[in-house]
């Protein structure tokens, strides 16, 4: 079910219009009810006065003929024969007041008996009903007109009321951490808006403090981690200059030196991401070479598991993108593919604008797919990992406008695709 969302200004206008509608509607209903009761009282009074006049005139002059108008009839009945001459709807009425409906016409009838003589006064209320309907229509039109006028007026007034809020929102939207800005509080602001502005400024200050602490931490962590990596690389370079080092040992030292270099690059990339900075320049990247470099650290593990590695990328394929960012994404995706695949294949292929890393591993349950890119999320049925690799992949893809997609079937493998713009 689609829910329509209204802005603050329109909600205020609708609230004012509704309040006005309720007030005017209640007033109109009260007036209509009061006028209806008044009409009933006037009709009863008119019939009673006509009855008094009829009785008095007949008692003064027994030959007085009852008067009749377009909506008022009077009758005098002396005996049963005259009773049968009455209109049918009056013949069986007893003494007292009566309300009759004859052919959809409403009659108020008063029957009175004096000295054995019955007097009838029948009043047809059609004109009153017509006036009542006209008054009802007038009340309805007044309510509708008042609602429309209050809606327009309310929309204008609400614009005046929320203008300071919208101005504050536009200025808050220009705030950037670490950049100087004018104070959000200004002279002449309403107290509530000034309170909101102060709350935003306090929050901005806390955000800037948090960012400074994170930058200090990442700088310290970068320094502390680079120091041992530098020591490892220096030691490897010294070992490689030793002529007595055997070929197997030399190959291992070279691998350690290369791994330490990649670790330093990845550390630098992660620090750039933590600070929200770009990882490097956009440049032409040979896709096959980049993929081969990302796979190289895991070839021993691929051979140990006996996995079949397939790479279907044309050597001449080039993309304009950030090389370091792509290699970091590929390293995480390839590592995951190898880690969760015990037998079968790891297949990397490229179609126009789409790079896919597929495997025949454990796969991911369908209920876990929406959360695989969340930080620290790990499916209970999958071992290993700390839940950060795919979160880093998603962060890099979002930063560079790449789209990351995943398809997976439990026990049949997964396929992660990077779609380039």
Sorted by where each begins, the domain ranges of the chain are: 8-149, 201-277, 280-419
Under DSSP, is residue 247 helix (H, G, I), strand (E, B) or coil? helix
Q: 330 Cβ partners below 8 Å, 6+ apart?
A: 290, 291, 294, 357
Farthest-apart Cα atoms in the chain, separation = 155
Q: How far is CA 268 from CA 65, 198, 373, in A?
A: 118, 38, 22
Strand order across the 308-312 sheet:
308-312, 345-351, 354-359, 413-419, 403-409
Residue 107: CB atoms within 10 A of its CB come to 20
User: CA-CA-CA-CA torsion for 57, 61, 63, 67, nearest 10 degrees?
Assistant: -20
Q: What pLDDT does 177 receive?
A: 66
Under DSSP, is residue 332 helix (H, G, I), strand (E, B) or coil? helix
Do β-strands 354-359 and 413-419 pair in parallel, antiparallel, or remain unpaired? antiparallel
Could you give the CA distance from residue 235 to residue 243 in angstroms, rounded to a whole number?
A: 15
Could you give the CA distance from residue 307 to residue 341 in angstroms, rounded to a whole number?
A: 8
* pTM as predicted: 0.48
Q: What is the pLDDT of residues 200-234, one digit of tens each?
A: 788 888 887 887 777 777 777 766 777 787 888 88
Could you give the CA distance from residue 313 to residue 294 in angstroms, rounded to a whole number?
A: 14
Under DSSP, is residue 273 helix (H, G, I), strand (E, B) or coil? helix
For 310: left if phi > 0, alpha if psi spans -120 to 50, otherwise beta; the answer is beta
Q: 56 Cβ partners below 8 Å, 6+ apart?
A: none
Look up tokens 């969760």; give the residue. Answer: 340
Under DSSP, is residue 100 helix (H, G, I), strand (E, B) or coil? strand
Topology, domain 280-419: Heat Shock Protein 90 (3.30.565)
Under DSSP, is residue 383 helix (H, G, I), strand (E, B) or coil? coil
User: CA-CA-CA-CA torsion for 151, 152, 153, 155, nearest 10 degrees?
Assistant: 80
Q: What is the pLDDT of residues 154-175, one digit of tens each?
A: 777 777 767 777 777 777 777 7
**Tens place of pLDDT per residue across the chain (421 aa):** 555 566 666 777 777 777 777 887 788 778 778 777 887 888 888 888 888 888 888 888 888 888 777 788 888 888 888 888 888 888 888 889 888 888 878 888 888 888 888 888 888 887 767 777 777 788 778 778 877 887 787 777 777 767 777 777 777 777 776 667 777 777 877 787 788 888 878 888 888 788 777 777 777 776 677 778 788 888 888 888 888 888 888 888 888 887 787 677 667 666 665 665 555 678 999 999 999 988 888 888 888 899 999 999 998 999 999 888 898 899 889 988 998 899 999 999 999 899 999 999 988 888 888 888 887 676 655 555 556 778 888 888 888 899 999 999 888 899 999 999 8
Of 376, 313, 383, the residue nearest 347 (C-alpha):
313
Q: What pLDDT does 420 receive?
A: 93
Look up tokens 């400074």; give the residue. Answer: 212
Q: DSSP state, 28?
A: H
Work out the end-to-end distance of the chain between its first and last CA atoms, rounded to an integer number of angstroms.
33
């Amino acid at each position: 079910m689609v829910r329509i969302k209204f802005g603050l200004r329109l909600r205020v206008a609708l609230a004012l219009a509704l309040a006005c509608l309720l007030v005017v509607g209640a007033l109109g209903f009260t007036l209509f009810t009061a006028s209806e009761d008044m009409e009933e009282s006037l009709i009863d009074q008119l019939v009673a006065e006509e009855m008094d006049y009829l009785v008095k005139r007949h008692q003064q002059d027994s030959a007085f003929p009852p008067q009749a108008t377009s909506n008022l009839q009077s009758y005098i009945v002396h005996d049963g024969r005259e009773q049968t001459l009455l209109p049918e709807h009056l013949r069986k009425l007893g003494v007292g007041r009566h309300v009759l409906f004859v052919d959809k016409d409403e009659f108020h009838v008063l029957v009175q008996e004096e000295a054995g003589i019955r007097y009838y006064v029948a009043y047809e209320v059609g004109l009153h009903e017509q006036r009542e309907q006209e008054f009802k229509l007038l009340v309805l039109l007044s309510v509708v007109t008042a609602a429309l006028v209050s809606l327009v007026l309310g929309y204008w007034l609400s614009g005046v009321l929320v203008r300071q809020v919208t101005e504050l929102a536009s200025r808050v939207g220009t705030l950037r951490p670490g950049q100087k800005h004018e104070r959000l509080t200004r002279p002449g602001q309403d107290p509530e808006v000034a309170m909101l502005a102060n709350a935003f400024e306090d929050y901005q200050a806390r955000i800037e403090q948090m960012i400074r602490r994170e930058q200090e931490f990442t700088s310290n962590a970068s320094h502390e981690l680079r120091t041992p990596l530098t020591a490892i690389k220096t030691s490897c370079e010294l070992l490689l200059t030793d002529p007595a080092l055997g070929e197997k040992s030399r190959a291992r030292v070279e691998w350690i030196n290369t791994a330490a270099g990649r670790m330093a690059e990845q550390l630098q990339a992660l620090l750039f991401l933590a600070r929200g900075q770009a990882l490097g320049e956009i440049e032409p990247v040979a896709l096959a070479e980049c993929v081969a470099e990302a796979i190289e650290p895991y070839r021993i593990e691929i051979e140990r598991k006996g996995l079949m590695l397939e790479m279907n990328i044309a050597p001449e394929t080039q993309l304009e993108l950030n090389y370091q960012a792509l290699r970091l994404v590929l390293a995480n995706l390839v590592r995951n593919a190898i880690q969760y695949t015990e037998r079968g294949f790891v297949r990397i292929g490229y179609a126009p604008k789409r790079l896919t890393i597929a495997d025949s591993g454990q796969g991911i349950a369908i209920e876990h797919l929406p959360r695989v890119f969340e930080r620290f999320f790990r499916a209970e049925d999958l071992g290993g990992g700390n839940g950060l690799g795919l979160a880093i992949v998603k962060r890099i893809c979002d930063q560079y406008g790449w789209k990351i997609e995943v398809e997976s079937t439990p026990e049949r493998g997964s396929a992660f695709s990077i779609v380039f713009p």
